[in-house]
Copies of this chain bind each other. A is one copy, B any other.
């Protein structure tokens, strides 16, 4: 009985949050590290991009390097991957044994192997390399509670966005039913799988009466770097939370196109297109020390808009699927 209750609590507390480790564009500043962020989902920690300084930012945010088992690198501009060398060697120094899954462009595997060879490094753990496919919407990581898909973006370098789709969670058994019907572990398992129960007097109790309704799975989408992509929704569907690069302000539209980037206005249009419940803007140009006006611009098109400050954390509510900034 005790174990069943524990299980119930476990599911109610399943967190889904995004921690920004860096949100600068190509040039970092004194206050903005280059691109990196972690997706926390319950006990799992996924790393998206790994700009220089990621391992220091992980430590600042008290996120264990060894708990990261999946790293997704969007593309090979330095501000999105120059931190991978330090992170992988630090994992090695910390005694990592568990395999690490790295989803990245094929050149990264060659670069890593070259550096390890030139400097005599032999990792004590396996890096399982998953090479990007730059067409279509592809399931690239199928984990216990989460599926991750890649899709092509449009940038000056081949680039993938990532969509994190929580798996449908099993229904939570109502605590009062466990006591009322004296349910055992086997009963609980069956009910979680969708079964009803027969009482001794033959009465049938439907699954719906024994469980709380399992909420809709939540989704998070990462788009950086890219120009404005038309009809992205036809490729990846809707999303609850969208992180979209907004390197430039609305008035710098031509510059955005010329450099393969987006404006705050365009990011807001993508959020609208994907029926997002919230938008996080990031990857800011160093020309903007105060990025508050990018938020204001975007909010003329779509609300709510958050700003990706380093070390900020955003959580997606399990029931409403709305996003709040938690730090």
Contact = CB atoms under 8 A, between A and B. Distances in A.
A83 interface: yes
Interface stretch (A21-29, A143-151, A167-175, A183-191): A21-29
A123 to B, nearest CB: 12
Contacts of A235: none
Interface residues of A, number: 34
Given A59-B29, A85-B82, A115 B111 contact: yes
Given A82-B85, A110-B118, A56 B52 contact: yes
Residue of A27, A52, A79, A107 most packed against chain B (CB within 10 A) = A52
Interface string A52-81: 110110011000000000000000111100
Number of copies of chain A assembled together:
2
Given A107-B118, A118-B110, A119-B76, A33 B56 contact: yes
Contacts of A110: 118
A295 B115 CA distance: 36
Interface stretch (A88-96, A200-208, A213-221, A262-270): A88-96
A93 B55 contact: no
Interface of A: 26-30, 33-34, 52-53, 55-56, 59-60, 76-79, 82-83, 85-86, 89-90, 93-94, 107, 110-111, 114-115, 118-120, 157
16 contacts: A26-B90, A28-B55, A28-B86, A34-B86, A52-B55, A76-B119, A78-B85, A78-B86, A78-B89, A78-B119, A82-B86, A85-B85, A107-B118, A111-B114, A111-B119, A120-B157
Nearest to A32: B56
A90 B27 contact: yes
7 shortest A-B CB distances, which residue pairs?
A107-B118, A52-B86, A53-B53, A30-B60, A30-B59, A82-B86, A76-B119
